[in-house]
Structure 1
Amino acid sequence: MAERGKAPGEFEGNEESIRVRGMQFAYDGQAPLFVDFNLDIAPGSRCLLVGANGSGKTTLLKILAGKHMVGGKDVVQVLNHSAFHDTQLVCSGDLAYLGGSWSRTVGSAGEIPLQGDFSAEHMIYGVEGIDPARREKLIELLDIDLQWRMHKVSDGQRRRVQICMGLLHPFQVLLLDEVTVDLDIVARMDLLDFFEEECDQRGATIVYATHIFDGLETWATHLAYIQDGDLRRVEKLTELDELKSSANLLSVVESWLRHETKREKKKSIKSPTQIQKSLHHGTSPFMSSRHMAYYR
């Protein structure tokens, strides 16, 4: 829990909510995405995970959520446990993941779709072991009509139900992958305020991957920038030099990504000599490569 008088994101002790050491990961038949990847995130942090499409943000969040296995039981630790091997982390609600799919994970039952002919009330009140006061607070916060039929509502309304269900248990670590993309600005800002309260009052930790930066300059405590599977930067927002000269987080991240794109394009352009070498070795310069896939 947070010490009284401490700044947001600063908690006693040296234990990390998330600890990654020497992680390696590759999808079947593909080049490694992560090689010797390291990351520490302290309790109470609200860490923005930024990077271009295909940089590894979603994969990292799924690894932290225990959805992908990596070699070594102690390589990826969440709350001092292996998220993949210790399923109690997810079942207890201490570790929560909200991603892009319209489904929720309920213990060993797997994922339950949120598009069927169910009412919002049926879905939300079907989650057991919930504090009624927290449930009512989330329903009001997200402006959910319990009579909504899940197969008839809009994406934004369905997203509200998904978020509500994912937050019913008082998490200690919350992993968010672009979950606010379908929300209107009022719902998004109210939700960000709720997340800030969870971190400051309970010492919860949030890792949030997003491309929407409105209002995040003062909301986030830390930022982690991933480029093509490499952790390029991780630091407190208050110590980010570029942000000191510009109050706009969007412009700072945009400059990083534009520089990255220009560099990758230069690397992908082959000279006539390189093309001849590729053809000589039986590889067409027009065959799909990792860099070409990156821009698709």
Structure 2
Amino acid sequence: MSDPEAKPEIHAQNLTYIHYGLDKNAEAALIDISFGLPKGSRTILVGANGAGKSTLLQIFAGKRLISQDGGTEVAIKGRDVFRQYPPGVTFLGTEWAMNPVVRGDIIVRDFLNSVGGYRHKPRRDQLLDILDVDLDWHMHAISDGERRRVQLVMGLMGEWDVLLLDEVTVDLDVLVRDDLLTFLRKDSEDRGATVLYATHIFDGLDAFPTHVAHMRLGKFVTLPAPWEAFKDVDTGNRSRLYSVALQWLKEDRDHRRGLENNGRKRRGAQLQDVPSESEKFYSKYDYSH
């Protein structure tokens, strides 16, 4: 049982973030986010593509710089993630597998040792078995799923206090994914470690979370809430988390379509009779007839 007086292990206050880039009129990706997660919790972030989940995780990982005006706070283990980044935090995201360095002709054994694998041999070996990784693989000659397994061995072989996961199980087969989640749950329970996990794959996850949260268009619709509160959900033949996520995502779609009916830019097919400039240009070079 967590101490209600204890400070949150993961904490955000008044967090707003905008991806400016080339678009000076960009909408905020995160809007006045405030929440806290207790030590030892395992929270599943649910939300449609573009809800702000990845941006939130990247900010906690210190990968996106934010303005700290207006009382904005972003902290892990009581430390500001930009001014005094805490030790023991691991972030695993999908962009790693696209890095040309990890697609080079390097043997997995050498790759893991180059990042300190020899210092964590017991946990490294346990993860090699769980993730079914061959130390003699060449990184440039393996599949995306196998490369993802190597990433997970690399990221998890050292003991972590806080784990930020952004869709990193998407390439794993169902058996390896289940074994990995069992390992992470036990690691969290045994050491009081904290997990914040954004995913779109909900089957087989009912036993994993302590909390769930729902994001929509840069805001929390449902702040992190104890998973036990959803025990009476009508699931039909589906898993409980799948059923909760499916209902939330349907509500997200209906909400967005309501905004589109009131002037927000519409997704999907463009309802217009006049050909766009792009259609006019490329149709001149269509030699398929």
Scaled by the length of structure 2, the TM-score of the pair is 0.82
**Percent of aligned pairs sharing the same letter:** 34
> In the alignment, does 2:192 pair up with 1:200?
no
Relative to structure 1, the CA distance from residue 22 to residue 65 in structure 2 (aligned partners, 3 Å threshold; closer, same or farther) is same
After TM superposition, the structure 1 = structure 2 runs for residues 70-81 of structure 1, keeping only pairs within 5 Å, are 70-72=66-68, 75-81=73-79
Distance in 2 (alpha carbons) for counterparts of 1:113 and 1:232: 39
1:85 to partner: Cα distance = 2.6
**Aligned position for 1:119:** 107
**What amino acid is the match of 1:116?**
G
1:263 to partner: Cα distance = 2.3
**Aligned position for 2:260:** 268
**Aligned position for 1:236:** 226
Deviation by residue 1:181-212 (Cα, 9 ceiling, x = unmatched): 11111110110011011110101000110111
**What amino acid is the match of 2:180?**
L
1:12 to partner: Cα distance = 7.6
CA contact (8 A) 2:97 2:144 kept: no
CA contact (8 A) 2:29 2:52 kept: yes
After TM superposition, the structure 1 = structure 2 runs for residues 166-181 of structure 1, keeping only pairs within 5 Å, are 166-181=155-170
Deviation by residue 1:255-285 (Cα, 9 ceiling, x = unmatched): 1211221221122125xxx7xxxxxxxxxx9
**Aligned position for 1:254:** 246
**Aligned position for 2:19:** 27
CA RMSD of superposed structures (Å): 2.2
> In the alignment, does 2:180 pair up with 1:191?
yes
**What amino acid is the match of 1:85?**
R
Scaled by the length of structure 1, the TM-score of the pair is 0.81
Give the secondary-structure state (helix, strand or coil) at the position aligned to 1:22: strand
Distance in 1 (alpha carbons) for counterparts of 2:130 and 2:252: 38
Q: Which moved more, 1:174-183 or 1:32-41?
A: 32-41
**What amino acid is the match of 1:62?**
Q
CA contact (8 A) 1:11 1:203 kept: no
Counterpart selection for 1:86 from 84, 92, 97: 84
Distance in 2 (alpha carbons) for counterparts of 1:244 and 1:103: 37
Distance in 2 (alpha carbons) for counterparts of 1:57 and 1:149: 33
**What amino acid is the match of 1:217?**
D
1:144 to partner: Cα distance = 0.8
**Aligned position for 2:275:** none
Deviation by residue 1:54-101 (Cα, 9 ceiling, x = unmatched): 0000000001111012222961001111222334x3xx4x01000002
CA contact (8 A) 1:156 1:183 kept: yes
**Aligned position for 2:38:** 42
Counterpart selection for 1:97 from 91, 102, 125: 91
Distance in 2 (alpha carbons) for counterparts of 1:178 and 1:103: 12
**Aligned position for 2:280:** none
1:112 to partner: Cα distance = 7.4
CA contact (8 A) 1:45 1:204 kept: yes
Distance in 2 (alpha carbons) for counterparts of 1:112 and 1:41: 35
Give the secondary-structure state (helix, strand or coil) at the position aligned to 2:12: strand
Give the paired residue count. 257
Relative to structure 1, the CA distance from residue 138 to residue 228 in structure 2 (aligned partners, 3 Å threshold; closer, same or farther) is same
1:103 to partner: Cα distance = 5.0
Q: Which moved more, 1:78-87 or 1:60-69?
A: 78-87
Give the secondary-structure state (helix, strand or coil) at the position aligned to 2:245: helix
Distance in 1 (alpha carbons) for counterparts of 2:242 and 2:147: 28
Q: Which 5+ residue runs of structure 1 have no aligned equivalent?
A: 1-5, 105-110, 275-284
1:244 to partner: Cα distance = 3.4
Relative to structure 1, the CA distance from residue 53 to residue 78 in structure 2 (aligned partners, 3 Å threshold; closer, same or farther) is same
**Aligned position for 1:66:** 62
Distance in 1 (alpha carbons) for counterparts of 2:97 and 2:82: 19
CA contact (8 A) 1:114 1:162 kept: no
Distance in 2 (alpha carbons) for counterparts of 1:86 and 1:57: 23
CA contact (8 A) 2:214 2:248 kept: no
